[in-house]
Structure 1
């Protein structure tokens, strides 16, 4: 059996972007996934290039919110009580990572990736001759209650301390930029160095086409297990085994088991189940992505309509989706516009965000350089995919990492 050069496990936005970069540096690449490319979390993400999100995914207030998380099935942060025993160790580690030193490491690590994310996407889309797929026209966080003003001002100050470009917008400025939004909005924060994709799934498709043109082979198979051998890695699938000199694990929320098998390292990877509701008849409501501070969801204009996305549910990989959470997003939109949104023919969706308790991804090269890792990007997989792909291409090459890329230390596997 011939040994492949490098096999990428995972055909989401990160796996496909990595495969393309690897092929462009002369590697013979195979991508393997049980689903068609982009049909996991990459299909239904919010489309927001969230470079402003440099803080961990939760804070200590999660302790006060725990009863509501368990009792309210429609709350913005939901923990299925049946999943509680499995989730508690992960939540404990999350809280420990909110102490001063690890918190600062998380912020620094997120900043290092996010500050280079838009530039990496610009380079990648330009290489595809598809720059129009990304709209770099900012995003807006709005608030409705007067008592929320102090929270907004505090967030603005914290972001300025981290050199995140941010502007305070008055209610008048919001109405001038997005006149269909409600007059009840008090103000908000505008983030000029952000943007959104007009169709995230189409972006994956363009990357796949470019990868195939560069010689990448895509296989629909499920990886059952694997082992490291003297010459590389053997991946066992439900069909024939695959031999490779190197393997990249980039299968998002499904990465923990294979990583443990190939490295002997147990990874505290959990999944945040995220929902969206796509409104196909809404095309002119917003010029850019808008998030509600109090309602905790985001609305992104796309070619296919307006996507309402958000909410976090901890219930693991096995339980069926609760699509009422997706429809709840439409109810959350009530009152945010001068006229209510048109929800005719709306379609709900649920996907798995891969999250680690320190809010940072794993990007690394282990097992004598035979195993590469790129997963755990939580809410920022779309944002960080292109810069992650540049880093993985550097890791896969012989020699030191290319200059100018983020340092690897915050993202190493050995931190767990």
Structure 2
């Protein structure tokens, strides 16, 4: 028998996942008059949303990998500190996912992926501006662009090729010479050759604070937050019944937005097995380096990003495929500090630095699932890979539109949702 006090009074919609995507969706749904409950086994914002790079990465319109991944596979297996690592023990489980990734790198599916990412990213900045204005916290986002720098003269052709590809996708980009880099970020090394500046990007001063502020706004709209673990679920005549570690909870609809943990419940409710895997991401937070950079800076050769935040300078960007169960290798986080050496006139201070690891949910075509299934009883919003923070606000608007076809968000020129359907798998 259900022992949850709300079990006899069905919720309008239950959101499973209290990361930035789930909470943003909950807030938008509550503003449409729905009774919303959010369930997570952790406190809100304590998953991948806590430790992401904080970069509003609207310029990143290409998939997470290209065909060069075949050449890099030996290094991925052998180098535990490389920027892209595949744990050899996890390889048998990862191979089917990588096979599908390679199939999606063929010209036609590759172009569909780029179009799908670009459509979300082009709407992301405006969606975040509107959302932060509604909670009176626009100050949490710094809309000051981001910079990709390069160090070696022989990297210039790669920079030129990337600039051309970005322009082809209508991504605003400027080529900066070395003197422009020094003027904008004088603490960077004088040996840098130049870079690409992306003006329509920005960074969040504290990604966790963003989630907390959204939670505060959601609670003011009546959203209830429950800390419990969803173990299973099934459809019934009235909607959906969820089995949790504290009893059964009934809801007319559910939204699955629990990131890398979404596959099992999606299969239980929809019967669809989705090829969801996880990019394990690491960061290193340097509390004594708050003022080093004016905006997010990425290194082309070293393949990591540095983002200034209120809590310090966050170094992030490493990717590891090792599944959900393997313990973290925090040495990969400390490797980020070693990678920073030589990028500044004076080395970064790592005193009192804190390492972190989290799970980025990734599908082999690099696109999220944003959809409605089971006659509208099940909504889905997961699989955003390393663009979860970037695409959270626009995803919330799309989910609001799916939940209520007359949603006001249709007027904001949102992307069509065909590319993000569940049935593409």
Q: 1:184-208 CA distances to partner (integer Å, 9 max, x unpaired)?
A: 1101000000000000000000000
Question: What is the CA–CA distance in structure 1 between the aligned matches of 2:262 and 2:406, rounded to whole Å?
Answer: 26
Quick one: which of 195, 215, 218 aligns to 2:202? 195
Deviation, structure 1 residue 284: 1.2
CA distances 1:240-288 after superposition (whole Å, capped 9, x unpaired)? 1010000000000000000000000000000000000000000111000
User: Is structure 2 residue 58 aligned with structure 1 residue 51?
Assistant: yes
Distance in 2 (alpha carbons) for counterparts of 1:399 and 1:335: 54
How far residue 397 of structure 1 moved from its aligned partner, in angstroms, is 1.0
User: Where does 1:376-391 land on structure 2 (aligned, <5 Å)?
Assistant: 376-391=383-398
| Paired position in structure 2 for 1:111 | 118
Which of 177, 180, 183 aligns to 1:173? It is: 180
CA distance in structure 2 between the partners assigned to 1:184 and 1:39 by the alignment: 38
Residue from 150, 161, 168 that aligns with 1:154 = 161
Q: Distance in 2 between matches of 1:113 and 1:214?
A: 26
Unaligned runs of 5+ in 2: 1-7
Equivalent residue in structure 2 for 1:14, among 13, 21, 26 = 21
RMSD value over aligned CA atoms?
A: 0.8
Structure 2 residue aligned with 1:90, among 86, 90, 97?
97
User: How much has 1:291 moved relative to structure 2?
Assistant: 0.2
Distance 1:56 1:70 in 2: 21
Q: Does 1:409 align with 2:414?
A: no
Instruction: Tell me the residue number matched to 2:379.
Output: 372
Match of 1:258? 265
C-alpha distance in 2, partners of 1:269/1:139? 30
Structure 1 gaps of 5+ residues are: none
Deviations 1:271-322 (A, max 9, x none): 0000000000001110000000000000000000000001100000000000
Q: What residue number does 1:308 align with?
A: 315
TM-score of the aligned structures, taking structure 1 as reference length: 0.99
> What is the TM-score with the length of structure 2 in the denominator?
0.97
Aligned residues: 416
Q: Helix, strand or coil: the match of 1:82?
A: coil
Q: Distance in 2 between matches of 1:129 and 1:3?
A: 32
Any idea what SS the aligned residue of 2:262 has?
helix
Match of 1:183 in 2: 190
Deviation at 1:402, TM superposition (A): 2.2
1:326 aligned partner: 333
After the TM superposition, list the runs of 4 or more consecutive aligned residues in structure 1 that deviate by more than 4 angstroms. Answer: 398-401
